Amino acid sequence: MGLHRKALRTTTVGAVSATLVAGTALGLAPTAQAAPNPVRFVDITGDGGTVLKANVVTPADSDGTRRYPLLVMPTSWGLPQVEYLAQAQKLADSGYVVVTYNVRGFWQSGGEIEVAGPPDTADASKVIDWALANTPSDAGHIGMAGVSYGAGISLLTAARDKRVKAVASLSGWADLIGSIYSGRTQHVQAAAVLDGASLVTGRQSPEARQVFDDFYASNLAKEPELVAWGKKRSAVTYVDQINSNGAAVMLANAWGDTVFPPNQYADFYEKLTGPKRLEMRPGDHATAELTGLFGLPNDVWKDTERWFDHYLRGEDNGIDREQPIQLKSRSAGDYEGYPDWKSVAATERKIDLAGTTTIRTNVNSGADGGIVFLSSILDQVAQLPPMASIPLLPRRWAAVWQSEKYGTAQQVRGTAKLHTTLTPTKESGTLVAYLYDVGPLGLGKLVTNAPYTFHGRTPGKPFGVDLELYSTAYDVPAGHRLALVVDTVDPLYIEHNPSGGQLTFSSPPNDPSYVSVPLREQ
């Protein structure tokens, strides 16, 4: 635990610094451009009398004689109420009344941080009430949008408030536990980013503080409470209500999102039955939307406006006739359209994980998922994902399997899946699986990864492991090969390997081990 706490302190310092820089930059962004539409800074009474600090932007031609569609935008985690002002101006230019507000517990808004609990969705409904009473808003045409925390609150509100007819959920979550506790493994760097930012810019509720503490402590006795807490704050729990209410839902995320990985969004998308759209791009958490917050051209915000123009204003702009899934590869190329998620991976190619391999735990082999935010941003802007020299990885602590060299480029699309048989020497343990693109010199570029933790197993008794790696879109060049690497330590995650543990991977004849790689039809 000492090492965990030291890593947490280091990560938290970086997270807090990044949040302060981002908040300052975003605060300056609106001043760099003209503001032709009237902007008001107002106080809105939220749930239980909590005061929410808000901005109201109305169309320049608003004269009290007509009504406009309403957009409500809750702020991201740790960012101030001016976050969306540049986009609010653009949307007001297009004929929307836009109300952006600082969620409870952050900055000047009252209350405490509830982590998208019931008070947060109740606040959103109160903001809608206020806007209908105090602005020229049309009660029949209401939408919600947000980035990150605002995205999650928007989805949850669409489940609980039938007035919300359209949602754009950008870099958000639909499954909170599936995001920061996937594979039954704590995503410690992601949690530290959220924790550190909220300590600097807000006021945590006692419940939120306890959840963070229990999360870090790896107390299995608290696991059911943690899971129940997360489900209560996950839109997937209420997908039937969202479908019943009929809101048109647009989801956008980045392949390398280290806070809310893309798998959970894709799974949620498949459960939606109303109008829906899923967009995936290179980048990390909220980096795909960032330039748009400064008022610069941005694909995510452009499609967000098109989504609302069609579903709130009735504009025939063709977005409903486009393929509903739009993906952009991390490698290069234009957007690719698909009719549904299963069509993303037209075929699958298996890499056999033959033989029996034993590795020791508690040592980082050198195969890592990178650093929260930094690594995926480098991949986004320079196509430089985390790398490792595959021939030099120590086989004492890393299991390695490789494919043959591919004669043609392999367009990996979707979710790779690992199936293996594992025999541990301890009742608990953690493994992390990595899929690498390996060039002629043995240098591996990370394609995807995911952690897996087990508890309560009988030492020496084999059991099956099925693990979905994080969804991605990556082009493996001709002449390269794919490698699956498994080790037991990664700074992104809390590991649960008792000292001296060993993990043995085998491939029984009646249940062979493999990694299934999803490929685009070529």
Q: Residues 159-199: pLDDT tens digits? A: 999 999 999 999 999 999 999 999 999 999 999 999 999 99
pLDDT at position 61 is 87
* In the predicted structure, residue 11 carries a pLDDT above the cut 70: no
The answer to whether 378 touches 385, Cβ cutoff 8 Å, is: yes
Question: Is 27's pLDDT higher than 50?
Answer: no
Mean pLDDT of 139-151: 97
Q: How far apart are CA 141 and CA 146, in angstroms?
A: 17
Residues recorded for the chain: 522
Residue 3's pLDDT is 39
Measured distance CA(443)–CA(440) in Å, rounded: 8
Is the entire prediction scored with pTM above 0.85?
Answer: yes
Confidence of residue 225 (pLDDT cuts 50, 70, 90): very high
Asked if pLDDT for residue 9 goes beyond 70, the answer is: no
Beta strands in 228-313 (DSSP E): 248-254, 276-281
Is the model's pLDDT at 10 over the cut of 70?
no
233 or 12: which leads in pLDDT? 233
Between CA 508 and CA 522 the distance in angstroms is 33
Q: What is the mean pLDDT of residues 422-451?
A: 97
Cα 149 from chain centroid? 10
Residue 36's pLDDT band, with cuts at 50, 70 and 90, is low
DSSP state of 438: E
Give mean pLDDT, residues 248-264.
Answer: 96
How would residue 34 be classed by pLDDT, with cut points 50, 70 and 90? very low
Residue range 452-481: average pLDDT? Answer: 97
Give pLDDT, residue 381: 82
Q: How far apart are CA 342 and CA 340, in angstroms?
A: 6
- Residue 108 has what pLDDT? 95
Q: Residue 327 pLDDT more than 50?
A: yes
For residue 377, what pLDDT is reported? 83
CA angle (144 as vertex; 180, 149 as ends), nearest 5: 25
Q: What is the separation of C-alpha 318 from the centre of its chain, rounded to a whole number of angstroms?
A: 27
Rounded to an integer, the average pLDDT of 476-484 is 98
Tally of CB atoms within 10 A around 346? 15
Look at phi and psi of residue 378 and say left if phi exceeds 0, alpha if psi is from -120 to 50, else beta: alpha
Any idea which residue has 């939120």 for tokens? 208
Encoded amino acid at 33, one letter:
Q
pLDDT tens-digit profile of 292-313?
999 999 999 999 999 999 999 9
Q: What are phi and psi of 240, to 5 degrees?
A: -65, -40
Average pLDDT over residues 437-444: 97
In 8-41, which positions are buried (b, 16+ CB within 10 angstroms) versus exposed (e)?
A: beebbebbbebbeebbeebeebbeeeeeebebee
Reply yes or no on whether the pLDDT at 270 is more than 50. Answer: yes
Q: Rounded to an integer, what distance in angstroms lies between the CA atom of residue 497 and that of residue 307?
A: 47
Single-letter residue type at 379 = D
Residue in 431, 514, 521, 517 with CA at minimum distance from that of residue 480:
517
Q: What percent of the chain has pLDDT over 70?
A: 93
Beta strands in 416-513 (DSSP E): 417-424, 429-438, 443-454, 463-468, 472-476, 481-487, 502-506
Residue 153 to residues 159, 173, 276: CA-CA distances in angstroms? Answer: 10, 9, 18
